[in-house]
Amino acid sequence: METTASPATPFYQAGNHDNLQRIDAIFFDLDNTLVPTRAVDERVCNEADECDQHSLKLLYDAIGFNFLNRLLKSTEVPQDCPPFIYKSIALSIVSCFCGVPEIVESDSILSIIPVLLDIVSTSDTEDMEDNLMLVSDCYTCIQAIAFFESGRKALLSQGCLLKLTEVYVEEMFRHDQALQLLVYISSKEGKHLWDGHEEPFKQLVKRLANDFNGDTTEKKFELCKMLAVFLSNGPRLPVVELQKEDWPQHTLLTLESILCSRIGTSQRDSALQLIARLLEIMGIGWGLKFGPNPRQFLLLLVNLACVEVRMKLEDRTLEQAIESADILVACYSVVELFITFMTSQGFLDFDAKQREQAYCALKGAVGSILAVLHQTDEEFSHEWTIPVTDRRTEFVCASIRILGSWLAEETSSMKEEVCAVLPFIITVCSRMYDERKLGTISDMPDPLRFMLPAFCHLAAEDAPRKIMLCQKLPQLLYDYLLYQWSIFSKWLALQPTVAADWLHVHTTPEEEDVAEANRPESESAIILVCGVFMNLAVLEPELVATDVVFAQLLKFCITNLQPLVHRQDFIVLLGNVAVLGLLLLRHHTWKYAQGDSAAFRYIQGTVSFLWDAHNSEESCDSLSLVISLRYKRDWPDLAELWFLGMQGLSNVMSKLDWIVEFIVDSGWPQEMMKSLSRIVAGAIDANTRTAYEDFLCCLLRAQPAKVRAVILENRGRHTCQEVYEVWKKLRYTYMTLDGPAANLLSALRKHNYTIGLITNGPSRSQWEKIAQIGAEDYFDSILLAKENEFYPPIDPPDDPDWKKDLVVSKFTKVCMVCGCLGTKLCGGCRNVNYCTKDHQVLHWKNGHKMLCKEPVRVEGEDSMFTLPEYEIIIEDEKIEDKASKLSSSDETELKEFEKILKAKNPTFQDDETITESLEESVADVQEDKMFLKFKEKIDSYPDQVLRYGKGETPLWVSDSNTPSSVPDCEYCGSERRFEFQIMPQMLNYLQLDSISQGGVDWGTLLIYANHIVDIKTSVLNVNGRPTLVTMDYIMNIPTMGIEHESFRLSYYPHRLDEFKGLLKEAFGEACKHTVFGDFKQLDEISDPAFYIHLVEKLPE
């Protein structure tokens, strides 16, 4: 049978709709041979392109699918015809209608997918050698079907993915078309396409990578794009397995050669996209293992990516930037990877110039991102209402992701720019989170998740934190925490319980990678949110105590901690929730004063987390405290949490008694005491020991009566003594000047800067610290404050009436009799204190009886034995000649005395008469040579109260009762050495020279010491001027096992004029420079101990 239409005038031409509508059926003459049939079919197909979709639909309906379906399924063909003649005709006709969506998406066309896939997957069989056009028609149909979402779903349901992969891997006929179909479907369906098909995917990528590495034509860059698509949308493969393959390494080297060559922009963009995807999978560290100069190439790649970002973003709008979205996304990936790499040890292996170059490049790229975000913020009036599926939203989210990565590592630069765009970022995060909760779109970007590490750091700075609070970020984070927790808890409920010995089960690296990949992303999101809230809890205590969000957050921690306690494999999440709860509970203790069951279980879980972190049973040395196996793997993330938790628990238990009772009853303090007493010094981390000791001290302060007994029962006294002895020996052992500080000081010295160190701590300990850190090697001058433990460092004014009303009783309760601390109060007037009952009786008998009934304390009724205060001036002793002992004032006084004598007794006419009379009156007194020597020695300074003469012979007041020898020290047995003596003139100044009952008298008081053996002083002179003064102390302390131990004190003397010149050079002429000596004006003191330089900036 023949068709009724004439080929010369095609009835399906546009405009012949009426003729087409009158056709009831079309008949085909199948008696002709295949060749002429194909020729006619081809002509018909070419002319069919001239039809519009409506005409093609009418023509398809006229032909009818039933006819085509019979042709496809028919297995009997006319004699002498090829076996696939009917299928060939049917597919030729179907391919003519593939441009009509209504036809392609119909159930009838979708039902022939199995036939199409069967033909392409058998294209290399002998039966198909003469039917290659049939295979091409199949691909035409499959491509048309894959264009529509419903068509792709139908193809995937029929196993299209595996069959097309097999076609390409086995290099069957038209395998290039199979590859193009796979690329298209992968780009549309996303990463979940290959779930469950990891092995075929690895075969596909390996084959494609080998083709890319081996190709030397322009097709190489087409393969480059395709490989990038597969790596972007493929399943997550274990890195350990990929490292065993050859193709990743060869691909990296191929890309290195491409990027280091002269290539066009499009070719460079393709290479950048592929290498970004490859490094995303394998990591920057892996990339440093291959190539002739991997560091240099990595820097080249980072600079190239940063330059591309700046060129595509600077001075451009958001619309213009999106035009280059594909290459920008690839560059973003490289930038993000390198930002993360900057925090690793591998980056420190780069030299300083390379590190600076990379940092500057990254900073420039991030600056461009900040600029485009700021411009977008202003363009959209600080709001973001663009649809989630819009490319602009995707690009903004990608930019926020890079910014979050940068801020997670670097918050010191571009602070103003960051603060300017922070409200817009929070707005976008909030909008995207609201859309995510609806769950209408899968694979939606989550900018809030990307910004969480940055929020952790920004919350620690004042300006960004204020912005975050104004934008109500705590409420957003709390809602986000609940959302992520719901996802995590559902996942956790489906997981099997981990056995207690799970750490001892041997697992391969591949199994560990798979297990890590299967953990939900919500776990890390919850941990990061906890980190943000911890910073807010520490820095915003008033907000935490008053804002309802934090009260709800505390309730969340108390409620949800318990499910994590019994999970052995979520210890980091457990620690974050537990410690966050402690920080919040500190401000809400009034709500839990009685301790409900939920709060009790929470504290129980928290104590369990802190207690289980250390033990001594698992150590090879039973006397060592080690990290528990359960904590060891994650200890870098847990260490800071543990110390913060110990501190937080200490703060909480001081306000909640029931927590102290629980801790004591749990046996944890007892275990601590046993560990501290059993473990040898050095076998426990110093910070850990300090944390334990501080915790026990807080526990003791919270409930002294109950805890003291527990500590003493568990060797507490012995342990404290051991700690004290160790502290005395090791308190400065670990003190050091760290590398960066030492390098900075050395650099300043090299550039001729003069550096001084001023400290106002206790001089002895400060000098010990200075010697320990070697500060003398870095500072030109070291100045310590003048120190006296009884008086302030500033001298009182030289005024005899200064603070005459200053009495001790105004500042503390002292005994009215002796001036010591008086803890007992007079029961009558309740205005006078005593140290003992005996002194109260004594005071009563000496006048208080008459004054006791006075309503207020009588003015002037002060302590009976409080002593006057004086300033002691230290001077070197200078012995004058006898001939010049009398000063001019002394001579004047002597002449006045002679006049008085002559006036009262005229018989005394001259000096000789006076002398003779005096000698006669004392002739019967035996001369005491020792006293005369004493008097002669102190004649030059009769007011002296102390004489310091280390190692010298003391000055005895009389030769009677003088000891023949000084006994050795009764404690250490060493020889006593004279140190100083207190002179009898002290009695006069302290008004104790009365010889009445109760008075005090002495000729001299001698003080001996036996520890400091010798002091050697040396002065280093350079060019005839003193440069360094050093004092070496030699000490003996047998009770501490110290024999002839030495320590050194050094200082650098500076001349006043030189130092004034240095300050003038440093601050310039536009400054007012004032010099003080010992806190006084220079004209008020002749020889100050130290100078103070005040430099003031003059007003402009």
Tens of pLDDT along 154-175? 888 888 888 899 888 888 888 8
Q: Is the pLDDT of residue 476 over 90?
A: yes
State pLDDT tens for residues 406-440: 988 887 788 889 999 999 999 999 999 988 888 76
Q: Is the pLDDT of residue 788 over 80?
A: no
Region 256-269 average pLDDT: 87
Name residues whose C-beta falls within 8 Å of residue 884's C-beta, 6 or more positions apart in sequence.
Answer: none
pLDDT value at residue 694: 85
Q: Is the pLDDT of residue 311 over 50?
A: yes
CB 783 within 8 Å of CB 1093: no
Distance CA(192)–CA(236), nearest Å, equals 10
User: Based on C-alpha coordinates, what's the Rg of the chain?
Assistant: 47
Closest CA to 586 of 527, 653, 659: 653
Least confident window among 25-39, 143-157, 434-448, 698-712? 25-39
Region 117-124 average pLDDT: 81
Sort residue 195 into left (φ over 0), alpha (ψ -120 to 50) or beta: beta
Region 62-70 average pLDDT: 78
Q: pLDDT band for 897, please (50, 70, 90 cuts).
A: low
Q: Is the pLDDT of residue 488 over 50?
A: yes
Q: pLDDT higher for 23 or 4?
A: 23
Q: pLDDT higher for 169 or 674?
A: 169
Region 993-1012 average pLDDT: 68
Q: pLDDT band for 400, please (50, 70, 90 cuts).
A: very high
What percentage of the chain reaches a pLDDT higher than 90? 13
Q: Is the pLDDT of residue 112 over 70?
A: yes
Q: pLDDT band for 119, please (50, 70, 90 cuts).
A: confident
Name residues whose C-beta falls within 8 Å of residue 153's C-beta, 6 or more positions apart in sequence.
Answer: none
Q: pLDDT higher for 964 or 887?
A: 964
Least confident window among 228-242, 909-923, 1030-1044? 909-923
Least confident window among 346-350, 660-664, 673-677, 800-804? 800-804
Q: pLDDT band for 1075, please (50, 70, 90 cuts).
A: confident
Distance CA(305)–CA(402), nearest Å, equals 13
Region 17-39 average pLDDT: 43
Sheet containing strand 977-982, strands side by side? 946-948, 977-982, 1005-1009
Q: pLDDT band for 986, please (50, 70, 90 cuts).
A: confident
Q: Is the pLDDT of residue 606 over 50?
A: yes
Q: Is the pLDDT of residue 642 over 90?
A: yes
Name residues whose C-beta falls within 8 Å of residue 526's C-beta, 6 or more positions apart in sequence.
Answer: 481, 484, 485, 488, 573, 576, 577
* DSSP assignment string, 31-75: -S-HHHHHHHHHHHHHHHTTS-HHHHHHHHHHH-HHHHHHHHH--
Q: Mean pLDDT across the chain, nearest whole number?
A: 77
CB 832 within 8 Å of CB 816: yes
Least confident window among 649-653, 709-713, 726-730, 947-951? 726-730
Q: Is the pLDDT of residue 20 over 50?
A: no
Q: Is the pLDDT of residue 576 over 90?
A: yes
Region 919-946 average pLDDT: 69
Q: pLDDT higher for 531 or 100?
A: 531
Distance CA(120)–CA(132), nearest Å, equals 10
pLDDT value at residue 532: 94
State pLDDT tens for residues 808-855: 555 667 788 777 778 888 878 877 888 888 888 888 877 787 777 665
Q: pLDDT band for 1038, please (50, 70, 90 cuts).
A: low
Q: pLDDT higher for 835 or 1100?
A: 835
State pLDDT tens for residues 1022-1032: 566 666 667 77
Q: pLDDT higher for 447 or 1020?
A: 447
Distance CA(646)–CA(699), nearest Å, equals 11
Distance CA(408)–CA(452), nearest Å, equals 8
Distance CA(245)–CA(243), nearest Å, equals 5
What percentage of the chain reaches a pLDDT higher than 70? 74
Least confident window among 119-128, 670-679, 738-747? 119-128
Q: pLDDT band for 474, please (50, 70, 90 cuts).
A: very high
- Where do runs of H (alpha helix) occur along 64-216? 65-73, 85-96, 101-104, 107-110, 113-121, 132-146, 149-157, 160-169, 175-189, 198-214
- Most confidently modeled range among 282-296, 852-866, 1034-1048: 282-296
State pLDDT tens for residues 735-787: 777 778 888 888 888 888 888 888 776 666 777 788 778 888 888 888 876 55
pLDDT value at residue 425: 93
Q: Is the pLDDT of residue 503 over 70?
A: no
Sort residue 150 into left (φ over 0), alpha (ψ -120 to 50) or beta: alpha
Least confident window among 223-232, 913-922, 1003-1012, 1028-1037? 913-922
Q: Is the pLDDT of residue 584 over 60?
A: yes
Residue 255 token pair: 């890309």
Query: What backbone phi and psi angles, to 5 degrees, belong to 95?
Result: -65, -25
- Residue 783 bridge partners (DSSP): 758
Q: Is the pLDDT of residue 485 over 90?
A: yes
Instruction: Write the DSSP symbol of residue 372.
Output: H
Q: Is the pLDDT of residue 530 over 50?
A: yes
Q: Is the pLDDT of residue 39 over 60?
A: no
Q: Is the pLDDT of residue 43 over 50?
A: no
C-alpha angle 947/950/953, rounded to 5°?
A: 75
Region 884-903 average pLDDT: 55
Least confident window among 211-215, 836-840, 1056-1060, 1093-1097? 1056-1060
pLDDT value at residue 150: 87
Is 745 strand, coil or helix?
helix
pLDDT value at residue 120: 83
Q: pLDDT higher for 74 or 585?
A: 585
Residue 119 token pair: 């033909």
State pLDDT tens for residues 362-377: 999 999 999 999 998 8
